[in-house]
């Protein structure tokens, strides 16, 4: 037996989509988490309901790394069509649990095989005809538990946690787990090095939450009252979670009335239209979508910019057009969203990198939209949005809502009616607005696209138009100065990394690997665009900077090159990954080591 | 000269807007005037009114009435979604949407249909001239087969009948009228505004510049010769008593949700029951067959639940709710967090 490798492995289950392996993987992951061992689960799923291959990965590490790691240490192979490729992808010394019918003749000799006759066991040992297909997957949970030393108590906890809302299901599933455990005891012996051992101190008090769930909670706590959406992976679960929470927490017990409207619109054009209509009338409104939906929202986004209407738009990024890889992750909407629409349009974008930021940025986006009377985008991605992440419980908001510059009937009276929708009274480029329904004869004004003067009167004057555009530019500077500052770590090195969003996990791990090799690398994580002075400062303070992102052309890299003074542009290099998988740490360390070995003179 | 004030103490002038920039003689201007009359006579509070529109000559008109109300000239074809959103934010607003046949029957057809099937409480006026006025005279999707463009091109494509569509989609108030027929249009507008639910008014409104020539079926001439009004409407608001006695068998009295009445007097040989959906579809179809423009109230269902009711929204505007009503309490938030552990 090789020396044991404890709590440091990548587990992967390769199954067929629609076979019901989700529950098994979730139970395993929760059982491991219950032992105090950090987990980072990733669901790699096809754009399909049934039949195509799907993989579920659990990264287990004593350090609590949350980035994806390429090679598999423990494989459960239950998909004959990917068996050969799955086997190729495991590391030497790996444990390979596979259906006993798969041939291992002439297969790799540097791994340990654990054949299990899953179908036969299911047929003979599982009585429930209806659930046999799903329960077959629970058999592998039993085998893996034995292989890795996960106590039954932890599995039981995992089952109870997973079936929180249908506790009746626990026992039949536990029985199926037991079938796997029995099979192991009677037929198999441990040959590989991987095992798990309860830990303390790393997961205490942590919760597991998906980014989209965090966004939904942020919307609730941020006071969202109108949400309009159109189904699209990977964003649908934002409004689905919101709907679930709203039924619990936004329904009047006595009357049954709802303190939120969640509308499944006919398309994304209507979804953003409803959100903008609601924002115009003073509600905190949002829509949530992904790239193709963002494309449809372009015209309305421009109206929001020009007519100055608050709205919050979530873009859970994925790979581009539908059909093919729409269920794979990406960070390729940054450039498009920043300038989304016709004319001289830009939008503030919040860039959460963690589930906690998904919650906080979602919540605060409503304040920003109201304050600046414009569309505020929040860019998450499939990896962040649809996978579970360990995090501290979210903080309860202590600040009241900031509803921005809204004039009440009383205030209009005090001003003796002397107000104008697009006047820059405070010098920050942000005007005062009134809401329909305000009971004052001078409250009303007319909202339209490009041609309006300071008092919202129709005009086609080029001079007035230009003046208004200059004010909007001023407003954008106010926004720039108000958005979340970048997160900076380290100031001692000449080398830095700049990135945004969910790549943070791989970057943190990469920095540790580089540090192990003697290379200290500082890190600035952009948390919003437009970019601000702090970003310029970081570039100035470092000789060589690597801009890491998950898109082909380096969209953040481009924004940075436009942002920093020309003499600093040469300091920036671009590291890009665009295969639809969350970037692993070695995809960052490798190019940095290569380039640092021959530093640019 | 004394000024007559309406029941909320406002003069007719309070319902006026900016000076129109449309062509002299444009049907849309007449509709604007009929709207001013209807809103004034009903005593609609300007601050409760939200004037919504898309893009087009027709969509410009909300700037030309009730200056003191909020108005929103949105994007082409998307008035329905903006109207839906605003109504969700404050269900007490009186939503008044103005659109064109291009804005509704082509680019905005999807939103039009979905607004109707949701039965959003709003008035939806299509100022229908069979052409794209603002972009200078292209055919719209309501142009009849055989109608001739100013440059001579003949339309060979089937028109979309917005009223038929509205009725089949569950529209709860569907009427057709003519910009030149204020006697019919004003009471219909009032009833549409009083109706709880979607009220669609397809109002033929000639474009004098691009579609008022021989060969057009949306010209003043043509409509004057071919209009066939069914049922003569009078509107009696909820705050007035029904005083007139009608000869039995000559009228239908429809009680609207707010207590107002729409009294429909039979005209010559027509005997249309506006609460009968298939009869409504038949009367439209018959008009197409005989090449007549059937106008008047086609269909009404006064008591169907509107969108806000189905969505179980409170009377209090959602936008006025506070932190206390919207945020989870500390206990509830803690509960959610511990479920995630
Ligand atoms: C997205 C978009 N496409 C095209 C246009 C150009 N456009 C402006 S008005 C209009 C047609 C308006 O026709 P209709 O709604 O019938 O109004 P009318 O002018 O006839 O009253 C078009 C195509 C636009 N404003 N936006
Ligand atoms: S172009 Fe036609 S629709 Fe437009 S204002 Fe003139 S007459 Fe009216
Ligand atoms: Mg038209």
DSSP one-letter string for A189-204: ---SSEE-----SSST
pLDDT in tens, B39-73: 999 999 999 999 999 999 999 999 999 999 999 99
Residue A598's pLDDT is 57
Domain containing residue B40: CATH number: 3.40.50.970
Write out residues with Cβ below 6 Å of ligand 2. B 22-23, 26, 28, 57, 129, 133-134, 207-210
State mean pLDDT over B301-328. 98
CA-based diameter of chain A, in Å?
90
CA distance B62 to B71: 7
CA distance A11 to A3: 19
CA dihedral B243, B248, B250, B255 (to 10 degrees): 50
Quick one: which of A550, A543, A554 has its CA closest to A521? A543
The answer, for B88 touching chain A at a CB cutoff of 8 Å, is yes
Does the complex come out with an ipTM higher than 0.90? yes
The answer, for A324 touching chain B at a CB cutoff of 8 Å, is no
Contact criterion met (CB below 8 Å) for A443 and A412: yes
How many Cα atoms sit within 13 Å of A374 on the Cβ side? 23
* B193 strand-pairing partners: none
Interface of A with B in 358-397 (CB under 8 A): 393-394, 396-397
CA distance A140 to A115: 11
Residue B61's pLDDT is 98
Q: How far is the CA of B103 from the centre of ligand 2 (A)?
A: 14
Residue B254's pLDDT is 95
The shortest C-alpha distance from A477 to chain B (Å) reads 26
Query: Does the residue B337 lie in any domain?
Result: no
Residue A20's pLDDT is 80
Query: Does A591 score more than 70 pLDDT?
Result: yes
B22 contacts in chain A (CB < 8 Å): none
Average confidence score pLDDT of chain A? 95
At residue A105 the predicted structure's pLDDT band, cuts being 50, 70 and 90, is: confident
Q: Could you tell me if the CB of B142 is within 6 A of ligand 1?
A: no
The contacts of residue B102 (CB under 8 Å, 6+ apart) are B56, B76, B131, B132, B135, B140, B141
The contacts of residue B208 (CB under 8 Å, 6+ apart) are B23, B24, B25, B26, B27
pLDDT in tens, B200-258: 999 999 999 999 999 999 999 999 999 999 999 999 999 998 777 777 778 899 999 99
Here the tokens at position A295 are 């494309």
Give the nearest partner residue to B327 out of A223, A261, A443, using CB atoms: A223
> Where do the H-state alpha helices sit in B208-322?
220-226, 277-290, 307-310
The answer, for A256 touching chain B at a CB cutoff of 8 Å, is yes
Which is more confidently placed, A469 or A20?
A: A469
CA distance A314 to A310: 13
* Whether A434 and B70 lie within 8 Å, measured CB to CB: yes
Contact criterion met (CB below 8 Å) for B208 and B328: no
* Whether B326 and A225 lie within 8 Å, measured CB to CB: yes
Query: Does the residue B111 lie in any domain?
Result: yes
The answer, for B337 touching chain A at a CB cutoff of 8 Å, is yes
Substitution candidate for ligand 2 out of B210, B212, B218, B219 with most atoms within 8 A of CB: B210
Give the nearest partner residue to B88 out of A245, A261, A448, using CB atoms: A261
Query: Does A601 score more than 50 pLDDT?
Result: no
pLDDT in tens, A399-429: 999 999 999 999 999 999 999 999 999 999 9
Q: Which atom of ligand 1 is nearest to the CA of B127?
A: 21
pLDDT in tens, B267-310: 877 789 999 999 999 999 999 999 999 999 999 999 999 999 99
The shortest C-alpha distance from B120 to chain A (Å) reads 12
Q: How far is the CA of A281 from the centre of ligand 1 (A)?
A: 25
The shortest C-alpha distance from A595 to chain B (Å) reads 42
Residue B1's pLDDT is 62
Q: Could you tell me if the CB of B74 is within 6 A of ligand 1?
A: no
State mean pLDDT over A565-586. 96
CATH number at A5-195: 3.40.920.10
Substitution candidate for ligand 1 out of B28, B76, B78 with most atoms within 8 A of CB: B76
Nearest Cα residue in chain A from B74? A448
- Terminal-to-terminal C-alpha distance of chain B: 77
Here the tokens at position A530 are 């437009």
The answer, for B324 touching chain A at a CB cutoff of 8 Å, is no
Query: Does the residue B192 lie in any domain?
Result: yes
Give the nearest partner residue to B312 out of A256, A269, A271, using CB atoms: A256
At residue A323 the predicted structure's pLDDT band, cuts being 50, 70 and 90, is: confident
* Whether A441 and B46 lie within 8 Å, measured CB to CB: yes
Q: How far is the CA of B207 from the centre of ligand 2 (A)?
A: 5
Quick one: which of A581, A578, A53, A443 has its CA closest to B68? A443
CA distance B2 to B23: 32
The answer, for A228 touching chain B at a CB cutoff of 8 Å, is yes
What sign does the CA torsion over B199, B257, B32, B14 have?
negative
- Classify domain A209-391 at the CATH topology level: Rossmann fold (3.40.50)
Identical fold for domains A209-391 and A487-596, yes or no, is yes
The answer, for B336 touching chain A at a CB cutoff of 8 Å, is yes
pLDDT in tens, A217-237: 999 999 999 999 999 999 999
The answer, as to whether pTM is greater than 0.90, is yes
* Whether B333 and A396 lie within 8 Å, measured CB to CB: yes
pLDDT in tens, A273-300: 999 999 999 999 999 999 999 999 999 9
CATH 3.40.190.10 holds for A487-596:
no
Distance, CA of B60 to chain centre: 15
Residue A582's pLDDT is 94
Query: Does the residue B290 lie in any domain?
Result: yes
Q: Which atom of ligand 1 is nearest to the CA of B54?
A: 15
* Whether A281 and B114 lie within 8 Å, measured CB to CB: no
Question: What total number of domains does chain B contain?
Answer: 1
- Return the H-helix or E-strand segment holding A548: strand A544-549
At residue A371 the predicted structure's pLDDT band, cuts being 50, 70 and 90, is: very high
Query: Does A519 score more than 70 pLDDT?
Result: yes
The answer, for B92 touching chain A at a CB cutoff of 8 Å, is yes
List the beta strands (DSSP E) in B77-204.
Answer: 94-100, 122-128, 131-132, 138-139, 173-178, 198-204
List the beta strands (DSSP E) in A179-333.
Answer: 194-195, 207-210, 226-229, 261-264, 285-289, 311-317
State mean pLDDT over A322-334. 91
Range of the domain at B283: 12-310
Residue A600's pLDDT is 46
The residue written with tokens 């597991």 in the block is A208
Ligand 2 atom 4, closest CA: B133
Q: Would you list the domain boundaries of chain A?
A: 5-195, 209-391, 409-467, 487-596
């Amino acid at each position: 037996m090789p020396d044991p490798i404890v709590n440091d492995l990548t587990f992967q289950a390769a199954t067929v989509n629609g076979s019901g392996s989700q529950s098994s993987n979730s139970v395993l992951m929760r059982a491991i988490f219950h032992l105090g061992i950090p987990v980072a689960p990733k669901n790699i799923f096809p754009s399909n309901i049934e039949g195509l291959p799907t993989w579920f990965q659990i990264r287990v590490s004593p350090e609590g790394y949350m980035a994806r790691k390429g090679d598999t240490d423990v494989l459960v192979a239950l998909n004959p069509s990917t068996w050969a490729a799955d086997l190729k992808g495991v590391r030497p010394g790996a444990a390979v649990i596979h259906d006993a019918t798969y041939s291992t003749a002439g297969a790799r000799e540097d791994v340990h095989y654990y054949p299990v006759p899953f179908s036969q066991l299911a047929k003979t040992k599982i009585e429930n005809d209806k659930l046999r297909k799903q329960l077959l997957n629970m058999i592998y949970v039993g085998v893996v538990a034995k292989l890795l030393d996960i106590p039954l108590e932890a599995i039981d906890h995992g089952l109870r946690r997973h079936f929180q809302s249908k506790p009746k299901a626990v026992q039949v599933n536990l029985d199926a787990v037991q079938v796997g455990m029995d099979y192991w005891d009677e037929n198999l012996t441990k040959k590989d090095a991987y095992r798990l051992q309860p830990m303390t101190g790393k997961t205490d008090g942590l919760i597991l939450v998906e980014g989209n769930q965090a966004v939904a909670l942020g919307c609730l706590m941020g006071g969202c009252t109108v949400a309009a959406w159109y189904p699209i992976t990977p964003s649908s679960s934002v409004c689905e979670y919101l709907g679930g929470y709203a039924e619990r927490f936004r329904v009047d017990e006595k009357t049954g009335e709802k303190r939120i409207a969640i509308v499944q619109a006919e398309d994304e054009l209507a979804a953003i239209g409803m959100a903008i209509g609601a924002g115009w009338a003073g509600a905190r409104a949002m829509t949530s979508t992904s790239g193709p939906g963002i494309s449809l929202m372009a015209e309305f986004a421009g109206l929001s910019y020009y007519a100055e209407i608050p709205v919050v738009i979530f873009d859970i990024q994925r790979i581009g057009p539908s059909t093919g890889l729409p269920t794979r992750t990406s960070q390729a909407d940054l450039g498009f969203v920043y300038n989304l629409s016709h004319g001289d349009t830009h939008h503030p974008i919040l860039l959460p990198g963690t589930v906690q930021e998904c919650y906080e940025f979602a919540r605060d986006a409503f304040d920003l939209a109201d304050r600046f009377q414009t569309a505020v985008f929040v860019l998450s991605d499939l990896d962040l949005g649809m996978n579970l992440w360990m995090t501290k419980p979210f903080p309860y908001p202590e600040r009241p809502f900031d509803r921005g510059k809204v004039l009440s009937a009383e205030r209009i009276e005090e001003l003796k009616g002397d107000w104008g929708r697009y006047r820059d009274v405070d010098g920050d480029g942000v005007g005062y607005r009134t809401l329909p329904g305000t009971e004052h004869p001078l409250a009303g004004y007319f909202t339209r696209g490009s041609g309006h003067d300071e008092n919202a009167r129709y005009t086609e004057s080029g001079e007035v138009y230009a003046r208004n555009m200059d004010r909007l530019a001023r407003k954008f500077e106010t926004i720039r100065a108000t958005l979340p500052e970048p997160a900076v770590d380290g100031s001692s090195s000449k080398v830095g990394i700049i990135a945004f969003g969910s790549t943070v996990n791989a970057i943190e791990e990469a920095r540790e690997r580089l540090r192990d090799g003697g290379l200290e690398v500082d890190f600035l994580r952009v948390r919003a665009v437009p970019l601000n002075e702090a970003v310029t400062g970081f570039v100035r303070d470092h000789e060589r900077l690597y801009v890491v992102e998950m898109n082909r052309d380096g969209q953040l890299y481009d924004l940075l090159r436009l942002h920093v003074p020309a003499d600093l542009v040469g300091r920036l290099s671009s590291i890009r990954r665009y295969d639809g998988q969350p970037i692993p740490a070695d995809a960052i360390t490798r190019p940095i080591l290569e380039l640092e070995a021959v530093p640019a003179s | 000269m004394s000024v007559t004030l309406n029941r909320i103490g406002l003069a007719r002038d309070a319902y006026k807007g900016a000076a129109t920039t449309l062509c002299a003689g444009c049907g849309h201007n007449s509709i604007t005037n009929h709207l001013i009359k209807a809103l004034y006579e009903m005593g609609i509070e300007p601050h409760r009114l939200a004037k919504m529109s898309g893009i087009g000559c027709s969509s410009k008109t909300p700037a030309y009435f009730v200056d003191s109300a909020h108005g929103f000239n949105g994007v082409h074809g998307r008035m329905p979604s903006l109207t839906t959103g605003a109504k969700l934010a404050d269900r007490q607003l009186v939503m008044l949407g103005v659109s064109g046949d291009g804005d509704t029957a082509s680019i905005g057809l999807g939103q039009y249909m979905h607004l109707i099937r949701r039965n959003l409480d709003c008035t939806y006026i299509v100022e229908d001239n069979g052409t794209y006025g603002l972009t200078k005279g292209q055919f719209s999707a309501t142009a009849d087969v055989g109608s001739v463009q100013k440059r001579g091109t003949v339309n060979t494509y089937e028109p979309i009948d917005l009223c038929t569509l509205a009725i089949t989609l569950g529209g709860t108030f569907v009427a057709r009228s003519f910009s030149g027929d204020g006697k019919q249009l004003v009471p219909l507008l009032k009833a549409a505004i009083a109706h709880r639910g979607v009220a669609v008014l397809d109002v033929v409104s000639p474009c004098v510049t691009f579609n008022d020539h021989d060969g057009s079926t949306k010209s003043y001439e043509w409509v004057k010769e071919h209009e066939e009004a069914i049922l003569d409407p009078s509107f009696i608001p909820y705050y007035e008593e029904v005083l007139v006695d009608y000869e039995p068998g000559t009228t239908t009295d429809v009680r609207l949700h707010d207590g107002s009445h729409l009294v429909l007097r039979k005209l010559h040989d027509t005997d249309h029951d506006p609460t009968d959906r298939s009869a409504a579809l038949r009367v439209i179809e018959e008009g197409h067959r005989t090449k007549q423009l059937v106008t008047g109230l086609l269909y009404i269902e006064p008591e169907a639940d509107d969108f806000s009711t189905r969505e179980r929204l409170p009377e209090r505007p959602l936008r006025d709710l506070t932190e206390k009503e919207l945020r989870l309490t500390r206990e509830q938030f803690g509960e959610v967090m511990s479920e995630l552990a």
